[in-house]
Amino acid sequence: MINLLILPILIPLITATILMFFSKQVKTQRTIAAVSTIGTVIASVILVITVSKEGIQTLNLGSWTAPFGITLVSDMLSALLVLTTSIITLLVILYSFKSIGRDRERFYYYPVVQFLLVGVNGAFTTGDIFNLFVFFEVMLMSSYVLIVLGGTKVQLREGIKYILVNVISSALFVITVAYLYSVVGTLNMADISQKIASVEQPGILTAIAILFLIVFGLKGAIFPLYFWLPGSYYAPPTPILALFGALLTKVGVYSIIRTYTLFFYHDPGFTHEMLGILAILTIVVGCVGAIGFWDVKKIIIYNIVIAVGVILFGISTMNGEAMEGSIYYLIHDMLIKAALFLLIGVMISITGTTDVRKMGGLIKEYPWLGWTFLVAAFSLAGIPPLSGFIGKLLILKGSFSSEFYVGAFVILASSLIVLYSVIKIFLTGIWGVPKEYTGISKSHARYLWATSAVLVLLSVFYGLGADALRPLFSQAAEVLVDPQIYIDAVLKE
């Protein structure tokens, strides 16, 4: 049963390798990719159930025990993120069948998506800080291919910028890990947490914490390190944009959550206060971008930045309730961002434009698309009882109890701006004056909508079933609040 940990990494790895041999056989690739990803989802569901019943699961690769060998660790936070990632990837693959185009499908699109899944699930599961870097690189190398796949001018231009930023970030990541190793003499996360408490060099630890914040902040797009994101995410086609928007920044966010709750919790005064300030500024910058554009892709892309700020502010408070809210909101945002990117992809395919002012009247011919988008928009903005509301409510309650009033006010104000930004798309592009469109057929649009609607439906159930799911998120937050639970599970003391 313990080998369940490795299945969400091993299944896509084997699948990617097999798919490399069928590059020109598109139908075979589609079938193998879809069936395999369903298997990954099933393994992830069983993993969540196992962790909920039996607690944190660990797997020591080879014959070396922790902290000397490579350890995989699946606590509830990790298991939930792996499950969410696998579900989103499955639906994006299904969406890709009728949207990505045969030219991209023939040039290793499905194998690269599987390698991306290996990197993301591996990053969520590893219990070793150096292997977090390794899985980051697997994820990034896959994203380098995806961002330029198709070779359009804008993809190549933005791809160069994206690669340069991430190469610098990766180099800084290795340097930071080396600094940390020189201080504590171990790479196992649980062992680092244990040994860092006895290091009597608070200045060095604070410097390392800030370096990690820069490294993961570049990946997660926090202020002022978000500059690369709007252009880079705008360039690729919709399915790739959905994967990037839902998954890649969240790996950076997860890494900040893991390191700041497991490593740097002993002296949170400076580091966590800085994280809180940067989170607030991230929300503000995202709001300015979201209301400043009429391009549907740019509006939702800047909403990614807002969500990153909201999640990290909850973590910066070091309050149990706010941290639980951040975990809940993190899963919500992954689902709803993927859904919104796929839905605006349908709108763009129908209208042939990304400018919402050139759209209009879609509700007349495509009512199912319009109303689904409205539900997704309300969920994103945090309208009760949808999933966006519950996560924000817990973050706000935790913020108020810890007397972080400024951040709580900014989050409340951002909800109105988020609502305005997405309702602008609905009122102008979906509701507005009907126009003639020469895009994809209605049956084609209905297929794309159906895959997107599954994510919206999951998000609705996620909100309505919050009470039933609460124990899972309490279990996930408990490990963040009390790192000793994680340490004991991994080192088995």
Query: Is residue 188 situated within a structural domain?
Result: yes
- pLDDT value, residue 90: 95
Over 80: is that where the pLDDT of 455 sits? yes
Identify the band that residue 82 occupies on the pLDDT scale cut at 50, 70 and 90: very high
Mean pLDDT estimate for the chain: 89
Sequence-ordered alpha helix ranges (H) in 263-319: 268-292, 296-316
Over 60: is that where the pLDDT of 389 sits? yes
Helix (H, G, I), strand (E, B) or coil at 383: coil
Identify the band that residue 1 occupies on the pLDDT scale cut at 50, 70 and 90: very low
- pLDDT value, residue 81: 95
Residue with tokens 């919790």: 265
Tell me which of 394 and 150 has the higher pLDDT: 394
Query: Is residue 290 situated within a structural domain?
Result: yes
The length of the chain, given as a count of residues: 493
- pLDDT value, residue 103: 84
Identify the band that residue 172 occupies on the pLDDT scale cut at 50, 70 and 90: very high
Tell me which of 66 and 12 has the higher pLDDT: 12
Helix, strand, coil share (%) of the chain residues, nearest 5: 80, 5, 15
* Spacing of C-alpha 471 from chain mean position: 22
Over 80: is that where the pLDDT of 493 sits? no
Residue 93 and residue 110 in contact, taking contact as beta carbons nearer than 8 Å: yes
Q: Classify each residue of 304-323 as buried b or exposed e, where b means 16 or more C-beta atoms within 10 Å of its C-beta.
A: bbbbbbbbbbbbbbbbbbbb
**Structure tokens given for 144:** 């380098």
Identify the band that residue 138 occupies on the pLDDT scale cut at 50, 70 and 90: very high
Pairwise CA distance, residues 139 & 169, whole Å? 14
Query: Is residue 211 situated within a structural domain?
Result: yes
Query: Is residue 25 situated within a structural domain?
Result: yes
Residue 456 and residue 376 in contact, taking contact as beta carbons nearer than 8 Å: yes
Residue with tokens 């606590």: 75
Model pTM?
Answer: 0.93
Number of structural domains in the chain: 1
Over 70: is that where the pLDDT of 376 sits? yes
Question: pLDDT, tens digit, for every residue of 68-79?
Answer: 778 889 999 999
Pairwise CA distance, residues 283 & 288, whole Å? 9
| Residue 214, C-beta contacts closer than 8 angstroms, at least 6 positions apart | 172, 225
Over 80: is that where the pLDDT of 3 sits? no
Percent of the chain with pLDDT strictly greater than 70: 99
- pLDDT value, residue 178: 93
Question: pLDDT, tens digit, for every residue of 123-135?
Answer: 999 989 999 999 9
Over 80: is that where the pLDDT of 267 sits? no
Tell me which of 80 and 201 has the higher pLDDT: 80
What mean pLDDT comes out for the span 252-275? 84
Query: Is residue 13 situated within a structural domain?
Result: yes
Identity of the highest mean pLDDT range in 111-115, 225-229, 464-468: 111-115
**Structure tokens given for 443:** 């049956």
Query: Is residue 79 situated within a structural domain?
Result: yes
**Structure tokens given for 216:** 């993961």
DSSP state of 64: P
What mean pLDDT comes out for the span 231-259? 91
Say what angle helices 296-316 and 268-292 make with each other, to 10 degrees. 160
Among 127, 106, 250, 276, CA closest to 193: 127
Query: Is residue 1 situated within a structural domain?
Result: no
What mean pLDDT comes out for the span 39-50? 94
Domain extent for 328: 6-491
Pairwise CA distance, residues 46 & 3, whole Å? 11
Question: pLDDT, tens digit, for every residue of 176-224?
Answer: 999 999 888 888 888 888 888 777 777 788 888 899 999 999 888 898 8
Continuous segment of H or E residues that includes residue 330:
helix 320-351
Identify the band that residue 332 occupies on the pLDDT scale cut at 50, 70 and 90: very high
What mean pLDDT comes out for the span 391-413? 89
